[in-house]
Amino acid sequence: MRITLFLSSCLLLAGAHAAEVKRVDARTIAFDGSITAGDAAKLAQAWAPGTTLLRVTSVGGSSEEAMIMGRFIHDKGLDIEIVRGCASSCANYMFPAARHKTITPGAILGYHGTGYLTELAGVDSLREDLLAGGMAPDEVKKQLPGLHDYVVRIARMEQEFTRYIGLNPQFYRDFKTVAEKGDALDKQYAAQKATFLWWPSARRLEQCYGIRNVNDQARPAALESTGHAFVTKGAFLLVGDQFLAGCGS
């Protein structure tokens, strides 16, 4: 189970189209798409006094941009509503920064790595992930030093981000345990080429990490009973909290 794919996949999204950011009504802004440079400025431009809700659908993208938006969401006291899904940097930084958080029926909340874990895994793991992602060996050799510097910078930003919004940094560390202990489960779904995602319960988010006011209308009941659920559309392997000890353990 790779724990660094999160950040290298974000780097490979550099050419992705930026999200559409638009005002829905007097209190609501919609954010739909991958997170790329400039999206924080779009969000700030769309905001106006009276805005209270950010409606989001995003697979993630730029960690740096997502943290900038997370700070903006925190500063403005915005609520967040996940429409179809919020994963990767969206889940890591935008979701926990909001005041009230709603995951609507049919939506997915998913974590699959952090800047902290990518830095912890080291240069060799980053190299392996870039190669696995399809980057040519010569290009990996050329890009790796700069990308590792980027990883270190993102990990430092992540630490500062936790302090800024009042988040327990263990939130960014626990996926390592989930990934390592879920390796056998992941292999069961290898033929489906499933994306392994951790979906923590609202209870754990509040009690362990200080992420409060989560209204989770979508989390599959199987995450409590069997510990995992496979979503055919999108090939997502969702796992719960069964691999983790209680808070402070």
Cα–Cα distance measured from residue 70 to residue 53, given in angstroms and rounded to the nearest whole number: 13
Contact by Cβ (8 Å): 175, 216:
no
Per the CB < 8 A criterion, the answer to whether 201 and 224 are in contact is: yes
Contact at 8 Å (CB) between 74 and 164? yes
Higher pLDDT: 79 or 137? It is: 79
**What does pTM read for this prediction?**
0.89
Mean pLDDT over each residue of the chain, to the nearest integer: 89
pLDDT digits (tens, 9 = 90+) for 150-186: 888 888 999 999 999 999 999 999 988 998 899 899 8
- The whole-number average pLDDT for the span 197-226 is 96
Measured CA to CA, the distance from residue 60 to residue 89 in angstroms comes to 5
Q: What is the pLDDT of residue 135?
A: 86
pLDDT score at 99: 98
Contact 86, 98 (CB under 8 A): no
Work out the pLDDT band at 217, boundaries 50, 70, 90: very high
Q: Which of 24-33, 145-154, 177-186, 207-216 is the least confident region? A: 145-154
The model's confidence at residue 3, banded by pLDDT at 50, 70 and 90, is very low
pLDDT confidence of residue 249? 54
Q: Which amino acid is at 171?
A: F
